[in-house]
Amino acid sequence: MFQSDVVTVGSLIVEVTPALPGETLATAQHYTLIAGGAAANTVFALARLGVHAYFITAVGDDEFGTLATTELAAFGLETSGVRRVAGQLTPVSFCAIDLHGGKQFRFYRFPGYSSPMQSLTGTDFQAAAQCRLFDFSEGSLRENALRPLVLQGAGAACR
Asked if residue 30 has pLDDT above 70, the reply is yes
The per-residue pLDDT for 100 is 86
pLDDT digits (tens, 9 = 90+) for 43-63: 999 999 999 899 999 999 999
Local confidence band at 1 (pLDDT 50, 70, 90 cut-offs)? very low
CATH code for 6-157? 3.40.1190.20
pLDDT digits (tens, 9 = 90+) for 78-107: 899 999 999 999 999 999 988 888 888 999
The per-residue pLDDT for 78 is 87
3-state secondary structure of 139: helix
Across the chain, mean pLDDT equals 89
Percent of the chain surpassing pLDDT 90:
56
Cβ–Cβ < 8 Å for 12, 72: yes
Reported as type and span, the H/E element at residue 150 is helix 147-157
Higher pLDDT, 111 or 9: 9
d(CA 153, CA 122): 8
d(CA 78, CA 144): 27
Residues 6+ apart with CB under 8 A from 150: 9, 125, 136, 140, 141
**DSSP per position, 31-66:** EEEEEE-HHHHHHHHHHHTT--EEEEEEEESSHHHH
